[in-house]
Amino acid sequence: MQRTIRTFQIQNMKELKKNLLYWSNSFEVALWLDSNDYDQNYSSFDAVLAIEEFTAIQTDYENAFEKLKEFQTITQDYIFGYLSYDIKNDTENLSSNNFDGLHFDDLFFFQPQKILFLKGNTLEFQYLKIVDDEIEKDFETILTKTNTTASAPSEVNIKLRIHKDEYYQKVSKVLEHIHRGDIYEANFCQEFYAEDCKLDPVKAYLDLNEISEPPFATFFKKEHHFLASASPERYLKKEGSKIISQPIKGTAKRLVSVVDDQKIAADLYRDEKERAENIMIVDLVRNDLAKTAKKGSVTVEELCKVYSFKQVHQLISTVTSEIKQDVHPVDVIRDSFPMGSMTGAPKISAMKIIEKLEETKRGLYSGAIGYFTPKGDFDFNVVIRSILYNAENNYVSFSVGGAITSKSTPEKEYEECLLKAKAMKMVLTKKVSEPTY
């Protein structure tokens, strides 16, 4: 489908981004993706904003991948959206019966009427013909847009769905499964939540992004559902026939002293337990990508490389493949979903165990959000380090998890969860002036 393209030069990109976000909040559907100028391989643009659906698909998990495949094939345009963790139930004999306070659709994608790409100092409008007469007016509005939120955010009283002692017990049960040989790794997650909470979702995103500045930041709105995400992790990207996966496993906190910070990063790189977590998932990703790859094309480009973010150091590996001819883009996703970094290994056994032990339906958390291009390329992040909000029932949620292996201890896993939860907690309790290191 043809789009009208117009470009404008921008002097203050930071201010423009803020204006774009508040402008996007006036629409029923909006999705913002921002790389925060992070120095990363395989980046296509600095940021993109997609708004106002022309066509869309929303569904539960039943036949979700086939419905998405049909929608992507027919549309032949940019489509933006998400796959929740629970569409795992579409491809395997699995279920999601835990408590859900957020009520997101299992899958949602939309063809935007308006797309705005940020590249360097350029803002590029790509509008469908039916709305291309609005480009000039929209640009003028964006340049002057400010926060117009009517109601002030309420105080947030964060609660734990799983308390500390119960968390220890549940991790011990995971370890029993590992020692029995049922699995050798599981990503066990817990929810932090608040009820009767009025939140300014754009402000929450801006604060979270300022604290973390990750390469896969996301703001998403669909009517009364919101996501503010500071994800550091790419799930899967397609560039022509090349597939790129970049799983994260292995975490260490940042320190104030440069010397101490460099030492803890070096220690992370050498840490046997953290490397074992990462390598197990790399093996799983290699197996997932091999399902759609040309024989012998699956390659580990980076293994356990330390990447540093404002709050944490992470071990990230990069696995690539060349897909076979005539493989549909959606099939590449289906054959690797959910991502191994959020499940464990073997994947199906791990998902069954964590479903029994976790207390909350994951929903969009640990799913994926991103886009397809008109040529069938795609890029999706992993929905972690994220605040989810339902403005209809005033429910706020963020979840964190960690990989449990034979070398794990409940105490250390709990400490890692609290480290990962720190940024979201700071935003919601308005303690954004704390050092972020």
The amino acid at residue 147 is N
Active site residue 249: yes
Which position among 233, 355, 358, 416 bears the catalytic label?
233
User: How far is the C-alpha of 341 from the C-alpha of 186, rounded, in Å?
Assistant: 9
Tokens of 103: 């009520």
Q: Residues near 167 by Cβ (< 8 Å), separated by ≥ 6?
A: 190, 410, 414, 417
- Indicate if the alpha-carbon torsion angle 124, 235, 320, 305 is positive or negative: positive
Tokens of 391: 């403005």
User: How far is the C-alpha of 284 from the C-alpha of 282, rounded, in Å?
Assistant: 5
**Cβ of 223: how many Cβ atoms within 10 Å?**
10
Cα 9 to Cα 12, 115, 123, 324, 412, distances in angstroms? 10, 16, 6, 41, 49
Cα 51 to Cα 45, 48, 385, distances in angstroms? 17, 10, 23
Alpha helices for 145-183 (secondary structure H): 164-180
User: How far is the C-alpha of 194 from the C-alpha of 157, rounded, in Å?
Assistant: 6
Q: Residues near 64 by Cβ (< 8 Å), separated by ≥ 6?
A: 83, 87, 90, 106, 107
3-state per-residue secondary structure call for 346-374: CHHHHHHHHHHHCCECCCCCCCEEEEECC
Active site residue 88: no
Which position among 222, 237, 238, 249 bears the catalytic label?
249
Catalytic residues: 233, 249
